[in-house]
Every structure is written in C-alpha cells, then in structure tokens.
Amino acid sequence: MKKILLVFLLALVLSVSACTNDDAWDSSKNITVYTRDTSSGTRAGFMEGIDFSDAAENDGLLVDGFLIKDNTGILSSIEVDQYGIGYISLASLNDKVKGLQFEGVDPTKQNVVNNTYGLKRPFNYIIRSLDDFANDTERDITLAFVAFLNTSDGADIITNEGAISLSSNGTWDDIKDQHPVCSLDNSSITIKFGGSDSIEKIALALTESFAPKCGNFVPEHEHTGSSDGFKRTQGSEKDGDNYKHVGFASRPFKDSEVGSEGTQGQLAWDAIVVIVHKENLVNNLTAEEIKKIYRGDFLTWDELL
C-alpha cells in the first residue's frame, strides 16, 4: 500500500511540475532573434542551410530588432531568454539550452555522418602560397601541420573538441620522417593561425599537441572570423601586420577565395544547431519556418505551434 501511495505522489509531483513549466512559457510572446555578424562562417552556413543565403551578408533582410552576438553570447543569452532563438556550432551545444530537430532530424554527430541532418557545414583551412613564406622553415612546419591534420592523432583531437573528423591516413609516427623540419629545434619560430573563431578551440588543441612534435615552434592564434581566413593568408591582408601562415573558415571558401594549388583543404565537418530556451515547447523546425522567423514573417511563438 505504501508503495502504491509513493508512486501516486511521485506521479502527482511530476504532473504539477510539468504543468508549471508549460504555464511558465507563453507562446504569445514575441520571438527574440539572435544572429552572428556578417563576417561569421556560422552565419553563412546557417543562412545557406535555411535557403536564405542573401541574408548571410545583409542585415537589412532580417527581422526588425534582431540581436548580434558571438557564439558564446548567443548560447548564454538563450539560457536566460525564454523567447529567444539562435544558432550555434554542435560542438558548443550543452544541456542548458534546447537544441531543436531540423526537418525532423536530431542534431547529432551520427546524423551528420550518415548525411540525414541537413544543417551542416565543412571546417576548412588554407595556408599561404608555397612560394610566399618568409623562409623554408616556416613553410615546412606549416606543411607538416597540414599533414598532421590528416593523421589519426589529429582526428582524435578534432573529435575530442566536438567536431566530426574525416577519415585519417595512419599516425603521425608513420609520416614524421617525411617532415625532417620537425626534428630540428624550432623554438624560435612563430607560426600564426587565424580565421574562423568557431574553429579556434580545435585549432588551439591541435597546435598544443603538434608543437612539441615539431621542434617546439610557437603557435600564435588570432581568430577573427572566417572572412579573414583567406584574406590574411593569400588575400588583401597577406602582407599586412595581421598576416597568417594558416587560416580557417567554418564554411565553404567563396569563388573569390580560391587559393593557389595545394593550399586549401577540409579538416572536419560540423553541424549548426538551432537553439531555444529549455522551457520552449517547440521541438522541431523546418528550414522554411526558420527562414520565416529570421525574415520576420513569424513574430510570435504560437505561429509555430
């Protein structure tokens, strides 16, 4: 009898709790729209994924009153904004917000790999043209780093940092003899990394692991957005104070960002996840629905329920 009473009380508590959460969320409230700025590769991938590419670099096409935040800013804002909507990298998703299904598919690594989750993007790299390094040592360390990206050692680091690695070709030990520069003392050499801030955490982890394997060169990171990945390695700022040896872009390179032969590649896949407050009753959105939110056609949440 006591067990039956305990089960009944537990069910009652859960029922009251559920009602409280539902009651706390008012679907008639206006949607608060969060986005990244126009230099962001995440924004470009997101807008491309919802068939709203024109808005990737044009704030004028977005709903009135939208808010611009960086990846961390959107995540922390949605944690407290019951009526907000934003988008982040899958690698940044945590249990403090709700990650929505996209077209009925959960945002998971498995669904990115099996190609059922549509809102995904490549993580790419670009290095300086091979004849445009200050010296052979900087060039050879950079090429060794690129080779490291394609090893199982590099793939493990990428996976541990939340992205989806590509297939690897052996270990670093298998190929290190092909890069004799790494057997030298490179502690006086600085290699500069930049571009996408979405890839910054992965790039930091990769260079932290690789520098001791390649003569203790000094990795220097300055990640200011995907647009600077090409610009500061082979583009208009390649010879300026902000030049880089390696740039990253969390989106496909544009037609205007075609580098010299053998200097560009992909290091991983990532998913972009639409996030809302945990009390939000919406669980799934289509590309068309998201587009209408960001365009201002849907202004309140009850238009989505």
Distance CA 146, CA 148 (A): 5
pLDDT in the model for residue 62: 98
Give tens-digit pLDDT for 208-266: 999 999 999 999 999 998 999 999 999 999 999 999 999 999 889 999 999 999 999 99
Residue percentage of the chain with pLDDT more than 70: 92
Does residue 281 or residue 6 have the better pLDDT? Answer: 281
Q: Which two tokens stand for residue 65?
A: 């009153």
Give tens-digit pLDDT for 278-297: 999 999 999 999 999 999 99
Distance CA 61, CA 38 (A): 12
Q: Which two tokens stand for residue 296?
A: 């201002």
pLDDT in the model for residue 203: 97
Return the domain boundaries, the chain.
Answer: 32-119+272-303, 122-270
Does residue 25 or residue 184 have the better pLDDT? Answer: 184
Q: Report how far apart, in Å, the C-alpha atoms of 72 and of each of 35, 122, 146, 274 are.
A: 12, 20, 28, 14
| Topology (CATH level 3) of domain 32-119+272-303 | D-Maltodextrin-Binding Protein; domain 2 (3.40.190)
pLDDT in the model for residue 23: 59
Q: Write down the pTM of the prediction.
A: 0.77
- Cα angle at 44 between 220 and 207, to 5 degrees? 20
**Counting every residue, how long is the chain?**
305
pLDDT in the model for residue 128: 98
171 neighbors 153 (Cβ within 8 angstroms): yes
Is the pLDDT at 80 greater than 70? The verdict is: yes
**C-beta atoms surrounding 29 within 10 Å:** 13
Distance CA 239, CA 225 (A): 18
Q: Where are the alpha helices (DSSP H) in 122-262?
A: 136-149, 152-160, 172-175, 200-210, 227-231
Taking the CA atoms of 164, 168, 172 and 173 in sequence, report the sign of the dihedral they define. positive
Give tens-digit pLDDT for 128-183: 999 999 999 999 999 999 999 999 999 999 999 888 999 887 999 999 999 999 99
230 neighbors 259 (Cβ within 8 angstroms): yes
146 neighbors 247 (Cβ within 8 angstroms): no
